[in-house]
Amino acid sequence: MTFALKFVAASILAASATGAFAQKGETVKIGWLDPLSGLMASVGTNQLKTFQFFAEEFNKKNAAGVKFEIIGIDNKLSPQETTSALRSAQDQGARYIVQGNGSGPALAIIDAVEKNNARNPGKELLYLNYAAVDPDLTNSKCSYWQYRFDADTSMKMEALTTYMKDQSEIKKVYLINQNYSHGQQVSKFAKENLKTKRPDIQVVGDDLHPLAQVRDFSPYIAKIKASGADSVITGNWGSDLALLIKAANDSGLNVKFYTYYAVTTGTPTAMGAASDGKVYQVGYAHYNMGGEMKKYADDFKAKFNDDLYTTDIYTVFQALTEAFVKAKSTDPVKVAAAMEGMKFKSFNGDVELRKADHQIQQGLYIAKWEKASAKYPYSPENTGYTLAPVKYYEAYVSSTPTTCQMKRP
Amino acid sequence: MNVEFFVISLLNGVSYGLLLFMLSSGLTLIFSMMGVLNFAHTSFYMVGAYLAYTLSGIVGFWPALVLAPLLVGVMGAAFERYSLRRVHKFGHVPELLVTFGLSYLILEVVQLVWGRSTVPYGLPEQLQGPLFTIYGTQFPKSRSFIMLVALLMLVSVWLLLTRTRIGLVIQAALKHPEMVESLGHNVPRIFMLVFGGGAALAGLAGVIGGNTYVTEPAMAASVGSIIFVVVVVGGMGSLAGAFLASLLIGVVQTFAVAMDQSLATALQAVGVAVTEQTYGYELLKLTISQVAPILPYLFLVLILIFRPKGLLGTRED
């Protein structure tokens, strides 16, 4: 009996001695679940390429010494399809799930991951949300098993309205958004923030249209024109933004657009010269970040003839490797614990994965669509135009409180 | 609602309505003649757009405008000749099923050839930019072009059907195929021509609709159900009815987007107090703009209940 005890103790010691770099050489499979078909396919395709691109870059050299492998599955932008896609990714050995397009699928993932982790100890999953920005996901519906790397709607609106507050020419604002959680939240926070920051601004319209279905926005543009608005706030992304701006430029509508996602595929082309100085975007980055990211963007363009715009994917890989080193493991349970409150330096400055709700805290930029220049040279979709930063807000400006009551395992 | 908004919305609605007419005219011809509800009709619309995208990269947009509908027409005729005609003798249900299957087949083939994403099928130089400016709003050339092509098509189809010999035979075969056959006309060949012609019209709509709107694999499904509404509302087999119904639906859908009135505001206007506590408030507060997408289907149901033969239809069955 004593021998057995000693043997166990010795093996534990031996295991922990070699365990210092236990994760070295391991392959980390990441299940990517986003649309590869339908109107939003171009956005999804670009982001899958971004994941593969950064996986390759990190495989060359990373502190944890692991290999990343991306398993891309089309979720057709539908919550139902997402659940089966998740199962399929799991069957192929993925313990990390990434998704970003649409808060509906994001919620489906949180739900599925919660259930899985409660029922299958030892086979836990960790969800890294790189773009689904519904504030509920880190508030009333928050989960220990989710980390979000994009700023949520309330944070972006905080920064955007802080900027709009100082633009005295804004008198009448029109809100047009996609009719699902994200769009509804944009509309809600825009109204709330404008009311406190600029009570003199009139909200002259508040439209919700179906997600990824509208092919012709000209009826909406006629409505915006008739309302007499001078500015439009929209959380639209992908084709819904590209077609909206296309229709606006076709009809010669002269308003300023305050957007969340002017970088998404197709929108730069739709903006072109006609939107010069008329489109603003709030985000954690812009095209001309310089440094390391400039090299990545140029490599990405050379390789895929496409633009690198979902740059927080870089932050996802960075957070993973840092956490692997810290936890000395690639086990999602240990990694999730290691990520709590983790602070590190990303391409856009110091960031923190806030412990209370697992929402990243990072600075936000307001950028304006204008002619590419020597200072801001990057030209997306070869338009000759670029998004030039006009204002930077530190993380604390846009930070919003959370109501998350997290259940920790 | 001011004059400016009214004029612009009317123009938008009419141009969309005319595109719907281009699609539904072929469908209604095929249905009235052969009794076949062609579920694959909008698939020909999609194929037209994709073919035009590829062809305009090779020979330019204007030749593609002619070539793509012709190719689609040949495909339609071949489908009628080698597939539909064979199942014709088994009755209407197999015919319906075979076109249903074809729509899936075309969708998968299109996705295999051109991918699942949108293709960058853009407008040619000559059609870019505004045609005219009205009350400070520009009206794009591309939309005007849709209207022009649709009207030209309407006139030529009408001339073909009423002023030519083949048109008279088609009209006769529409009503009394056996009689026409016993007079020595090759009715199956007429069927093939009509089917091919209908597909070509859908293809033409695709060529100009694809670059004005978006060319992607869901484009067929997006108009698939609405053109059945057009055909039913207009009256089965009536070209004039399809024309009227397309315009009606185009204009109604465009204007509905602008209406922010709801049942709640209507009740409040007549003095009924409606608050968030009122029973069914969630339903009452839905605005017309929010229910705009279902209006055509509501219309369809109402027509089927109160006037089953459609606005200008002649059949009672």
Those of residues 44-63 in A touching chain B at CB distance below 8 A are 45
What letter does residue A152 receive in the DSSP assignment?
P
> Residue A99: phi, psi to the nearest 5?
-160, 155
Name the 3-class secondary structure at A74: strand
Name the residue facing B5 among A222, A239, A243 (closest C-beta).
A222
Which alpha helices (DSSP H) does B82-134 contain, by range? 85-88, 92-114
For residue B223, the model assigns a pLDDT of 86
Spatial separation of the C-alpha atoms in residues A235 and A353, rounded to whole Å = 24
E strand or H helix that includes residue B1: none
For residue A38, the model assigns a pLDDT of 79
- Residue A237: CB atoms within 10 A of its CB come to 27
Q: Distance of CA A8 to CAs A5, A11, A22, Å?
A: 5, 5, 19
Q: Which residue has the tokens 């408030």?
A: B281
What pairs with residue B165 in β-bridges? Answer: none
CB A398, CB A156: distance < 8 Å: yes
Lowest-pLDDT choice from A136-140, A313-317, B58-62, B238-242: B238-242
Lowest-pLDDT choice from A46-60, A123-137, A305-319, B121-135: B121-135
Q: Do B111 and A210 touch (CB under 8 A)?
A: no
Spatial separation of the C-alpha atoms in residues A138 and A144, rounded to whole Å = 9
Q: Which residues contact A130 (CB under 8 A, 6 or more apart)?
A: A47, A98, A99, A100, A148, A149, A150, A310, A312, A313, A316
**Which value, to the nearest 10 degrees, does the dihedral of the CA atoms of residues A360, A237, A398, A144 take?**
-30
HSE-CB of B184 using CA atoms within 13 angstroms: 0
Q: Which of A260, A176, A184 is nearest to A217 (CA)?
A: A176
Within 8 A of A216 by CB-CB distance, chain B residues are: 12, 16, 213
For residue A310, the model assigns a pLDDT of 95
What pairs with residue A389 in β-bridges? Answer: A367
For residue B262, the model assigns a pLDDT of 82
For residue A265, the model assigns a pLDDT of 86
CB A57, CB A303: distance < 8 Å: no
Those of residues 81-140 in B touching chain A at CB distance below 8 A are 111, 115-118, 130, 133, 136-140
In terms of Cβ atoms closer than 10 Å to its own Cβ (0-12, 13-18, 19+), residue B25 is buried
Q: Which of A291, A247, A245 is nearest to A264 (CA)?
A: A245
CB A228, CB A257: distance < 8 Å: no
Tens of pLDDT, residues A17-48:
444 567 888 999 999 999 998 778 889 999 99
- Does A2 score more than 70 pLDDT? no
Mutation choice for A interface testing from B7, B117, B131, B143 by most A CBs within 10 A = B117
Q: How confident is the model at residue A144 (pLDDT cuts 50, 70, 90)?
A: very high
For residue A19, the model assigns a pLDDT of 46
Q: Chain A: give the shortest CA distance to residue B199, in Å.
A: 23
Is this prediction's pTM over 0.90? no
With CA atoms as reference, the chain A residue closest to B134 would be A251
Tens of pLDDT, residues A206-249:
999 988 888 889 999 999 998 999 999 999 998 899 999 999 99
For residue B315, the model assigns a pLDDT of 60
Q: Which residues contact A351 (CB under 8 A, 6 or more apart)?
A: A315, A343, A344, A345, A360, A361, A362, A395
In chain A, % of residues over pLDDT 70 = 95
Strand order in the sheet with A360-361: A343-346, A349-353, A360-361
CB A195, CB A206: distance < 8 Å: no
Q: Which residues contact B167 (CB under 8 A, 6 or more apart)?
A: B159, B160, B161
CB B288, CB B262: distance < 8 Å: yes
Strand order in the sheet with A202-209: A202-209, A172-178, A231-234, A256-259, A279-283, A364-371, A385-393
Tens of pLDDT, residues A274-283:
999 999 999 9
For residue B21, the model assigns a pLDDT of 93
CB A39, CB A212: distance < 8 Å: yes
Query: What is the separation, in whole angstroms, between the first and last Cα of chain A?
Result: 34
3 state SS for A318-384? HHHHHHHHHHCCCCHHHHHHHHCCCEEEECCEEEEECCCCCEEECCEEEEEEEECCCCCCCCHHHCC
Q: Which two tokens stand for residue A9?
A: 């103790």
Those of residues 283-322 in A touching chain B at CB distance below 8 A are none
Number of H helices, E strands in chain A: 13, 15
Spatial separation of the C-alpha atoms in residues B229 and B303, rounded to whole Å = 10
Q: What ipTM is given for this predicted complex? A: 0.83
Within 8 A of B289 by CB-CB distance, chain A residues are: 207
CB B206, CB B31: distance < 8 Å: no
Q: Chain B: give the shortest CA distance to residue A222, in Å.
A: 6
Spatial separation of the C-alpha atoms in residues B214 and B111, rounded to whole Å = 15
Spatial separation of the C-alpha atoms in residues B255 and B289, rounded to whole Å = 8
With CA atoms as reference, the chain B residue closest to A178 would be B290
Q: Which two tokens stand for residue A85?
A: 């896609």
Name the 3-class secondary structure at B230: helix
A211 touches chain B (CB under 8 A): no
Tens of pLDDT, residues A363-397:
999 999 999 999 999 999 889 999 999 999 999 98
Q: Which of B215, B209, B154 is nearest to B29 (CA)?
A: B154
For residue A409, the model assigns a pLDDT of 84
> Can you tell me the mean pLDDT for A60-65?
90
Q: Which residues contact B295 (CB under 8 A, 6 or more apart)?
A: B252, B253, B256
Tens of pLDDT, residues B119-158:
888 888 888 888 888 887 888 898 899 999 999 999 998 8
Q: Where in B135-232 does DSSP place strands (E)?
A: 137-140
Name the 3-class secondary structure at B307: coil
Spatial separation of the C-alpha atoms in residues B199 and B77, rounded to whole Å = 8
What pairs with residue A280 in β-bridges? Answer: A258, A368
Q: Which residues contact B268 (CB under 8 A, 6 or more apart)?
A: B274
Q: How confident is the model at residue A83 (pLDDT cuts 50, 70, 90)?
A: very high
Q: Chain B: give the shortest CA distance to residue A244, in Å.
A: 11
Mutation choice for A interface testing from B4, B16, B114, B118 by most A CBs within 10 A = B118
Q: How confident is the model at residue A8 (pLDDT cuts 50, 70, 90)?
A: low
CB A121, CB A140: distance < 8 Å: no
Spatial separation of the C-alpha atoms in residues A320 and A383, rounded to whole Å = 35
Q: Which two tokens stand for residue B60?
A: 């330019």
Task: Please list the pLDDT of chain B residue by residue as tens digits (317 residues).
Answer: 578 888 888 999 999 999 999 989 889 888 877 778 889 999 999 999 999 999 999 999 999 999 999 999 999 999 999 999 899 888 888 988 999 999 999 999 998 999 877 788 888 888 888 888 888 788 889 889 999 999 999 999 889 988 999 888 888 887 788 888 899 999 889 889 999 999 999 999 999 999 888 888 888 888 888 888 998 899 877 888 999 999 999 999 889 888 888 888 888 888 887 777 778 777 887 888 878 888 889 989 999 999 888 888 776 54
Q: Which of B241, B249, B235 is nearest to B308 (CA)?
A: B235
CB pairs under 8 A between A and B: 86
CB A364, CB A370: distance < 8 Å: no
Spatial separation of the C-alpha atoms in residues A296 and A319, rounded to whole Å = 18
A277 touches chain B (CB under 8 A): no
Spatial separation of the C-alpha atoms in residues A78 and A365, rounded to whole Å = 31
Spatial separation of the C-alpha atoms in residues B115 and A123, rounded to whole Å = 35
For residue B72, the model assigns a pLDDT of 97
